[in-house]
Structure 1
Amino acid sequence: MLQVLNAVRKAKLRVFYALHHRYRPGDYETWKYIAPVQKAAWVRRTFEYGTWGGELRPGFEPQPGEIVATEHWCSSGFANTDLDLQLKRHGIHQLIVMGLIAHTCIEATVRFAAELGYDVTMVRDATADYSDEAMHAALNVNLPNYASAIVTTQELVDLISSAQTETSAQSQ
């Protein structure tokens, strides 16, 4: 993932973050309906704000000018967030998606993006899941219906580098 992020930053492509909600005490206590994934987050204090689990790994922190959408509460980076608004305001229509978890958050985000008309590229080896079976189902059965391309990190880095070289040659 970091290799993709660094290549994107080097190419001066825009970076958007669609982070999962970070648990804070009091988040779910008054909810009438809690989806199983949200109940698990409540019980386990998943991504608890201010803890190791709620922080981004070194190197993945947003840099100045990068956009952090409002945190999503369940699976899709689009549902109940400002991600679509931020992408549209910046004139973005092509997305590179990577992260966790392939069969939940990534799949829901890619599906939602396709519904909204975005052209999505998935990075196969910059995505993770709980099991090989879940990963296989997400990347080989479900996501090909919504992502225009599913590529490896190296393929994507090569494409970005090639596009940069082409752009540099055209501007001379």
Structure 2
Amino acid sequence: MANVTYDKADTALLVIDPYNDFISEGGKVWSRIKRVAEANDCVPHMLQVLTAARKASLRVFYALHRRYRPGDYEGWKSIAPVQRAAWERRTFEYGTWGGELRSGFEPEPGDIVASEHWCSSGFANTDLDLQLKRHGIHKLIVIGLIAHTCVEATVRFAAELGYEVTMVKDATADYSDVEMHAALDVNLPSYASAIVSTSELVDSLSSR
């Protein structure tokens, strides 16, 4: 594990898209990531990291994808393929079970929920960077979905903005091992200061 320390004064946990549609049985995307998510115990690991972060008194931030509402994309002159797919499938639809956070991942008092992102990066066109800076956060621990889209885009953007990022490699999932490998072994090592397992991260937080 890289020699990264986590002080509650400047470190936060960033939770990306723990929606029912992603990580609950019956969710619109669950069937596509189920094999990978169950193979690495993604959901239990995400909960384990979240619990450890709260116990260590780290601030918790949420970077959530835009929950579809009628009228969101109608009339747009251009739309990214990933946005068109979400529009057609009504992924994370506002007011539906799929657009709610999975039980156990609900924000608690004091947590910060950034404005919803429209494509992949939790930073693009949101107030996440503003909120982090106003709370004095310089280091991020990242968990959530999906490894090669929202997670990778958010970690890359964080690096561009000067944040030191730790990626928890078994607290994320993807459509296949190929995409997981591309994100975690090929791309993210160029942007994350540390890529660690849940056990390594929890041990580090508990030994602070």
Same fold (TM over 0.5): yes
User: Which has the bigger relative contact order, CA under 8 A and spacing at least 6?
Assistant: 2
Q: Which runs of 4+ in 1 moved over 6 A?
A: none
SS in 2 for 1:158: helix
2:164 is matched with 119
Aligned mates of 1:98, 1:31 — CA distance in 2: 31
Alignment counterpart, residue 105 of structure 2, candidates 49, 53, 60 = 60
1:78 is matched with 123
Instruction: Give the Å deviation of 1:126.
Output: 0.2
Instruction: Give the Å deviation of 1:10.
Output: 0.8
Instruction: Give the Å deviation of 1:5.
Output: 0.2
Aligned mates of 1:49, 1:121 — CA distance in 2: 30
1:149 aligns with 2:202: no
Q: CA RMSD in A?
A: 0.5
How do residues 8-157 of structure 1 correspond to structure 2 at under 5 angstroms? 8-157=53-202
Aligned mates of 1:144, 1:52 — CA distance in 2: 35
Aligned mates of 1:82, 1:58 — CA distance in 2: 25
1:167 is matched with none
In the superposition, the TM-score normalised over structure 2's length comes to: 0.78
In the superposition, the TM-score normalised over structure 1's length comes to: 0.94
Q: Deviations over 1:107-142 (max 9, x none)?
A: 000000000000000000001111110001100000
Gaps in structure 2 of 5+ consecutive residues: 1-45
Give the aligned length. 163
Q: Deviations over 1:46-95 (max 9, x none)?
A: 10011121010111000000000000000000000000000000000000
Aligned mates of 2:182, 2:173 — CA distance in 1: 12
Letter matched to residue 52 of structure 1: W
Letter matched to residue 142 of structure 2: V
Aligned mates of 1:79, 1:100 — CA distance in 2: 16
Aligned mates of 2:89, 2:158 — CA distance in 1: 29
Identity %: 84
Letter matched to residue 15 of structure 1: V
Structure showing greater Rg: 1
